[in-house]
């Protein structure tokens, strides 16, 4: 496997939307009392905007031209906050790998890329959004 991880581009949006549908279905099956069985967390237009925002970054993993998964990050900077010290935090908003690619370390590589991004952008910590 020749794993390549890079920042997402507009051409990656269709596969990210496909994985978002899988995440929604997984959440609904696990917690139908909380999650709807339809709907979309992000539309294609939402993802296009995310690709342009400076505080948000989506990384995608490919094996050649085959998409494997993605991680979506959001950086929040706390400055002059009422109760928090000034700092930047990188949040993991989403992480999903196609079922056929699971167990091959793709998720770990995507998390490592997010961690590197957090360090490069001066974040004090990295947290998972649950």
Whole-model pTM: value is 0.90
**What is the structure's pLDDT at 81?**
84
In sequence order, the β-bridge partners of residue 74 are 56, 91
**What is the structure's pLDDT at 61?**
99
Convert the pLDDT of each residue in 15-54 to its tens digit: 999 999 999 999 999 999 999 988 889 999 999 999 999 8
d(CA 98, CA 96): 7
Backbone angles phi and psi of 63, in degrees to 5: -115, 100
> Residue ranges of the domains in the chain?
3-128
Considering the domain 3-128 in this protein, what is its CATH number? 3.40.630.30
């Amino acid at each position: 496997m020749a794993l390549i991880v890079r920042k997402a581009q507009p051409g990656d949006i269709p596969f990210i939307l496909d994985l978002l549908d899988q995440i929604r279905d997984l959440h609904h099956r696990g917690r139908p009392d909380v999650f709807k069985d339809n709907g979309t967390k992000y539309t294609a237009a939402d993802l296009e905007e995310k690709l342009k925002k400076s505080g948000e970054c989506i990384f995608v993993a490919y094996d050649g031209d085959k998409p494997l998964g993605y991680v979506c990050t959001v950086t929040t900077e706390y400055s002059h906050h009422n109760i928090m010290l000034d700092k930047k935090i990188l949040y993991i908003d989403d992480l999903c790998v196609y079922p056929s690619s699971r167990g091959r370390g793709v998720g770990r590589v995507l998390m490592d890329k997010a961690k590197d991004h957090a360090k490069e952008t001066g974040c004090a910590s990295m947290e998972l959004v649950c």
